[in-house]
């Protein structure tokens, strides 16, 4: 169990928070200072690669959820536990993909956006803990899944 608040019956406040933070990442990239000219080229190229990889992962993770897909962290009544594909590698590939997209944007635009991306990643850490408490209530096998799939968002990073 977790002490993190539900922020709504199905976690609506968590979704509102992530929308605000994604908007902050975008705004910081648009309004913040740019990278120094000496590193701008390599950072933009790296950012595009990260952004593309994140978008591809995001679409793949959405497709794999199928009818279990919900924008809210509380699972639907008829949701089944997904543990194959990207979900066999990381437990929250959509959140991981969001972090990678935000990182790509940050690298391509502004160090201020990078700061907002760190805050977004910390937010997803908390949101995923709240979501996992709900998943454990809904799916008796979730604890075994969490022990088998050790990475939360991105392979190689706990």
Domain hosting 67: range is: 47-72+79-158
Shortest CA distance to 18 belongs to which of 130, 119, 135, 131?
A: 119
pLDDT of residue 158: 78
Q: What is the pLDDT of residues 53-106, one digit of tens each?
A: 999 999 999 999 988 899 999 999 888 999 999 999 999 999 999 999 999 999
- The count of structural domains within the chain is 1
Contacts 24+ apart (CB under 8 A), 112-118: 112/28, 112/29, 112/31, 112/32, 112/33, 113/25, 113/26, 113/28, 113/29, 113/32, 115/28, 116/21, 116/24, 116/25, 116/28, 117/25
pLDDT of residue 7: 97
Domain for residue 33, yes or no? no
Domain for residue 41, yes or no? no
CATH number at residue 107: 1.20.120.1630
Domain for residue 1, yes or no? no
pLDDT of residue 126: 97
pLDDT bracket for residue 1 (50, 70, 90): low
């Amino acid at each position: 169990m977790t002490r993190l608040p539900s922020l709504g019956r199905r976690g609506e406040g968590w979704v509102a928070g992530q929308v605000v933070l994604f908007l902050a990442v975008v705004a910081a990239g648009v309004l913040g200072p740019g990278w120094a000219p000496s590193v701008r080229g390599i950072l933009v190229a790296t950012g595009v690669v990260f952004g593309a990889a994140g978008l591809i992962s995001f679409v793949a993770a959405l497709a794999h959820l199928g009818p279990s897909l919900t924008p809210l962290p509380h699972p639907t009544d008829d949701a089944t536990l997904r543990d194959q594909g990207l979900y066999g590698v990381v437990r929250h590939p959509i959140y991981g993909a969001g972090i990678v997209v935000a990182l790509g944007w940050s690298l391509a635009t502004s160090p201020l956006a990078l700061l907002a991306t760190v805050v977004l990643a910390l937010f997803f850490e908390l949101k995923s803990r709240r979501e996992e408490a709900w998943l454990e209530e809904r799916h008796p096998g979730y604890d075994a899944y969490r022990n088998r799939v050790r990475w939360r968002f991105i392979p190689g990073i706990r």
